[in-house]
Amino acid sequence: MDFTHIAELLDTSKQGKKASIRGWVYRKRDLKKRIFLVIRDSTGIMQVMFDPSKKKLFKTAQQVTVESSVKLTGKIRKDERAPGGFEFDPETFEIVGLSDIFPISKDKSTEFLLDVRHLWVRSREVTAVLRIRSKVFEAIHEYCHSEGFHETHAPILTPTACESGGDQLKVDYFGQEVYLAQSWQLYAETLIQAIEKLYTITPAFRSEKSKTARHLVEYWTAEMEAAWVKLDGMVDYACGMIEAVCQKVGKECTKELEVLGRDPKKILKIKRPFPKLTYTEAVKLLKKDGVKIEWGKDLRTLEEKALGKHFEKPIVVTEFPTDIMAFYKPPTDHDAKVAKCFDIICPEAGMEIVGGSERSLDVKYMKDRLKKAGEDLKWYDWYFDTRKYGAVPHSGFGLGIERVIQWICGLEHIRDAIPFPRTLNRFYP
């Protein structure tokens, strides 16, 4: 008999029909005269009751332990007392893999759960996040294809710094020092001259020395780069990507959001247009709120949080001070002190989820900026060729996928948006 996923059975139309399920024992309650098992699969949970009248089944139920893998056939029946509102009357019951005593029971301290992350991933919360995570990736691919972008890949091992030399992870490359990529951007800027509109979903690396709830050392990013597109056009693509993700998750992950205590309606409200303000306007707004911030300093966690409180939708902040921006972000035409760039800050959590810009076409300007940052220009020669042979206006952005998941799922810490987080002091398991 074919196996049915539990979520498909939680439906009155399936009552009285024979079905087979398979999964893991999520809970066991042995009342001696009756044994209740809750079985979980990747889609949901189902209660099964055993009593001594079915001797063989009852004996197997006595033997089975929490987290054993099992197969059952039987019929579904409505029962308001059962979690999910249905109970399964078993006819056959087979243990596939008997579990040792499962280490996760009462001790749910953060550090312990991180030590046994390979087992904690089975929890309902993590399962829900993993399913939403998969949907986020699906939505990004769909959106990029629908807008005519081609999926393209860049190396992870690179000789250059894209963002800044400070937080690069070093790797020994047969005796030479190279870095794990902070971003695909510099390579993408050469590829636009071949295929014009491109995107990638890739791991990115930052040796973040600070312990915060929004920084990972290894994270995933969705990046877009396009020829002929100026700042406003790229801002709209970034907003479109966020909208596409929220609409898909809000519509197709209602059960998962419920497990996480999130209201899908809130997620479905995330539709363009998004509020837009310049950095200078943001600083004014923050000062009015009593936040101590000086013009010229980057927005930090504190300021982003304060801004997030003002809006119900993602906030586009443009024109950050040129001096604190990466070397490739050009000054605006009306004021050289600010750059043609943008960040998008999510509401609620209030954190940067997207960073992007138009790209400078002025090689001298970029070289000066790199020199000031102490970079060795010889590694950038290939990059400047993009400006030498038929340069075109272009722009791009990077979206932090775990940050988006953290916001949508309402997670306190970014490490719970990825199955095996890499943080300042953790690379195990």
Binding-site partner at residue 354 among ligand 4AD, Mg ion, none, CB < 5 to 8 Å by type? ligand 4AD
User: Quick check: bond before 273 cis, omega within 30?
Assistant: yes
Task: Please list, residue by residue across 28-46, b when 16 or more beta carbons sit within 10 angstroms of its beta carbon and e when fewer do.
Answer: beeeeeebbbbbbbebbbb
Binding-site partner at residue 403 among Mg ion, ligand 4AD, none, CB < 5 to 8 Å by type? ligand 4AD
Total residues at interface with ligand 4AD (CB under 6 A)? 23
Shortest distance in whole angstroms from residue 212 CB to ligand 4AD: 9
Nearest alpha carbon to residue 58 among 70, 49, 71: 49
Is the CB of residue 376 less than 8 Å from the CB of residue 384? Answer: no
DSSP 8-state assignment for residue 54 = S
By CB under 5 A, residue 350 contacts Mg ion: no
By CB under 6 A, residue 47 contacts ligand 4AD: no
d(CA 352, CA 375): 26
Write out the binding residues for ligand 4AD, residues 131-170 only, by CB under 6 A. Answer: 162-163
195's enclosing H/E stretch is helix 185-195
Residue 57, helix vs strand vs coil: helix
By CB under 5 A, residue 74 contacts Mg ion: no
Shortest distance in whole angstroms from residue 154 CB to ligand 4AD: 10
Write out the binding residues for ligand 4AD, residues 197-216 only, by CB under 6 A. Answer: 206, 208, 215-216
Of the pair 237, 397, the CB lying nearest ligand 4AD is at 397
Among 90, 264, 355, 396, binds Mg ion (CB under 5 A): 355
Write out the binding residues for ligand 4AD, residues 331-360 only, by CB under 6 A. Answer: 352-356
Question: Which residues on adjacent β-strands are paired with residue 171?
Answer: 178
Among 41, 243, 402, 416, binds ligand 4AD (CB under 6 A): 402
Is the CB of residue 130 less than 8 Å from the CB of residue 405? Answer: no
Of the pair 252, 298, the CB lying nearest ligand 4AD is at 298
Of the pair 331, 400, the CB lying nearest ligand 4AD is at 400
Helices (H) and strands (E) in the chain, counts: 14, 16
Is the CB of residue 94 less than 8 Å from the CB of residue 70? Answer: yes
d(CA 117, CA 133): 17
Q: Residues in the site for ligand 4AD, rule: CB under 6 A?
A: 162-163, 182-183, 185, 206, 208, 215-216, 219, 221, 223, 352-356, 396-398, 400, 402-403
* Sites of contact with Mg ion (CB under 5 A): 355
